[in-house]
Amino acid sequence: MPVFFTEQIDGQYAILHEDESRHLIRILRLKQGDPVDLVDGRGNLYKGIISVPNPQNTRIRILETIKDHLARKYYLHIAIAPTKSAERFEWFLEKATEIGVDEITPILCERSERKHVRQERSGKILLAAMKQSGRAYLPKLNPFVPLHGFLQQARADKKLIAHCRTNPDDFPGGSAAPNLSWLVLIGPEGDFTPEEVAMATARNYREISLGEAVYRTETAGIVACQLISYINQ
């Protein structure tokens, strides 16, 4: 079933913006009366049919609303130093969305090789990954921020920093109590400096290992997503 994104929902009808409408009509060649699924990025899945096909603003009649579609019982925030390769960071955004993440913050560390993120392009990747994976929650992508500033403002029930100088047995354990918020820091290719780790632990971040292997930054981010998912299952 095709899945489209919209925030324009009024009662029993929804309007698709131009990009989604053009894809529906000119690429998929859908017509009036064809069934479609809609998501709004806030956890709602809508079952509907095409009422008025238009390449600029297709109108959908909503037949059913499913709230909290594929909702998870925890909140996950990944703060990660973007890789030098934009493609690898974008791969992380895609896969993290598929696995399940609520918030992503690009952080600038002492050993960072990338100091900016293409915010608009990254947002489109998150949106496409949400639709492709059948999820209904769109992760929040925050602006780039220096690590020291992030540490001063970030809040979570469980705060973790993953780096290579930990014991491989120091996995991120913890209880699976519902509604906990988790925050995991992932450093650049050269890892966090000892001073950065000290800054984090001074603010009650727990040092963790993601395993015996040394992962690339984007892989470490994905492993962290999967581990937190596993803990909360």
The full set of domain ranges for the chain reads 3-66, 74-231
- Per-residue confidence at 147, pLDDT binned at 50, 70, 90? very high
- pTM higher than the cut 0.85: yes
- Count the neighbouring beta carbons within 10 Å of the beta carbon of residue 140: 14
Percent helix, strand and coil across the chain, each to the nearest 5: 30, 25, 40
CB 144 within 8 A of CB 65: no
In the numeric block, the tokens 């780039």 are attached to: 144
For 184-211, what is each residue's pLDDT tens digit? 999 999 999 999 999 999 999 999 989 8
Backbone conformation region of residue 221, classed left if phi is above 0, alpha if psi is from -120 to 50, else beta: alpha
pLDDT value, residue 212: 82
For 46-63, what is each residue's pLDDT tens digit? 999 999 999 999 999 999
Amino acid identity at 214: V
In the CATH hierarchy, which top-level class contains the domain 3-66?
Answer: mainly beta
- Residue 223 sits at φ, ψ, to 5 deg, of -60, -40
Handedness of CA 111, 116, 119, 121 (dihedral sign): negative
In the numeric block, the tokens 């994104």 are attached to: 5
For 109-138, what is each residue's pLDDT tens digit? 999 999 889 999 999 999 999 999 999 999
- Per-residue confidence at 233, pLDDT binned at 50, 70, 90? confident
Q: Is the pLDDT of residue 170 over 80?
A: no
Q: Is the pLDDT of residue 174 over 90?
A: no
pLDDT value, residue 124: 96
Q: Which fold has domain 74-231?
A: Alpha/beta knot (3.40.1280)
pLDDT value, residue 167: 72
pLDDT value, residue 171: 63
The more confidently predicted of residues 174 and 25 is 25
pLDDT value, residue 198: 97
**168, containing H or E segment:** none
Q: pLDDT over 70 for what percent of the chain?
A: 96
- Count the neighbouring beta carbons within 10 Å of the beta carbon of residue 121: 11
* Dist. CA 90–CA 123, nearest whole Å: 10
